[in-house]
Structure 1
Amino acid sequence: MGFFDGYDIAVSGMSAQRTRVNITSSNIANAKTTHTEDGGPYKRQSVAFQEIMLNQNKKTNETSFDNNKDSNQVNLRGVGVKSIIEDDSDPVMRFEPSHPDANEEGYVAYPNINPVIEMVNLLEARRSYEANVTAFSTHKNIDVKTIDIMKA
């Protein structure tokens, strides 16, 4: 394990959760959007995460310690965004005959977004982001203490 590997893992988690916060915020902001460029109501989106290999493309300097690595050693992993998924659920139909997007029967199609669920998702993403920040800070503090000990 390299000196910066802990940082890379925490940063991958922060990046993934930042995307989740942005998508969830977009869902909340568009909860009442009845007309999009595609012609229908806004469709709720969610984020699918995947495990990713970190530092695959980086060339590392091999040292005598690296040559003694066990062949069964697991590669460094992080988290990334696999895809943004659009919800295929039916829109919520509300009777509002005076609305400009009402159909012939007077119903307006609203996105199937529950603001309470979106707020819970937002809080969960924020807490996960904060946990990654804490891991990053803890790793930094350990490194600073290690350098201080080495100086003494």
Structure 2
Amino acid sequence: MTDFSSARSVSASGMQAQAQRLRHLSENISNADTPGYRRKLVSFQTALAHGDRVSNVEVGRVRLDQSELPKVYDPAHPMADQEGNYSGSNVNLLIELADAREAQRSYEANLKMFDQARNMSSSLMQLLRR
């Protein structure tokens, strides 16, 4: 595999991983008001393709945040216990939005690297044709 295609492969794997991270972040945001919902945490790991010396990025196991669920007092809620409390969601919208911004910027950086490698490869091919 050439250096240009290796660079494109690494960038593409980074974009794919960040897209998957954004998918889980959007699930967290959409379920912020769902009782008993635990936010999903995404981790990344390296994946070494057979015979390559370049590592790609992939999403590891998706875990659930094990922090304590907040108790919400609402005696009229159908899930409320005898004291009128039910378990809320442990999603913090501020953290989710900050993580989404970070994932977006990382995706954009990988996209720029992909385009740069593609442009360099194209320029090299044009030079070789002369």
Same fold? TM cut 0.5: yes
- Give the equivalent residue in structure 1 for 2:12: 11
- Give the equivalent residue in structure 2 for 1:48: 43
CA shift for structure 1 position 57: 6.5
Q: Distance in 2 between matches of 1:122 and 1:103?
A: 35
Structure 1 counterpart of 2:6, which letter? D
Structure 1 outlier segments of 4+, above 2 Å: none
- Of 63, 66, 69, the residue aligned with 1:91 is 69
TM-score (norm 1): 0.80
Cα-to-partner distance string for 1:36-74 (whole Å, 9 max, x where unaligned):
xxxxx11111111111113x178xxxxxxxxxxxxxxxx
Q: Which runs of 5+ in 2 are unaligned?
A: none
- Give the equivalent residue in structure 1 for 2:55: 77
Please identify the structure whose Cα radius of gyration is greater.
Answer: 1
Question: Aligned ranges for residues 115-134 of structure 1 at < 5 Å?
Answer: 115-134=93-112
Number of equivalenced pairs: 129
% same residue:
33
- Give the equivalent residue in structure 2 for 1:20: 21
Structure 2 counterpart of 1:86, which letter? L
Q: Which runs of 5+ in 1 are unaligned?
A: 35-40, 59-74
Q: Distance in 2 between matches of 1:23 and 1:113?
A: 12
Q: Distance in 2 between matches of 1:135 and 1:88?
A: 36
SS at match of 1:113: coil
CA RMSD of aligned residues (A): 1.4
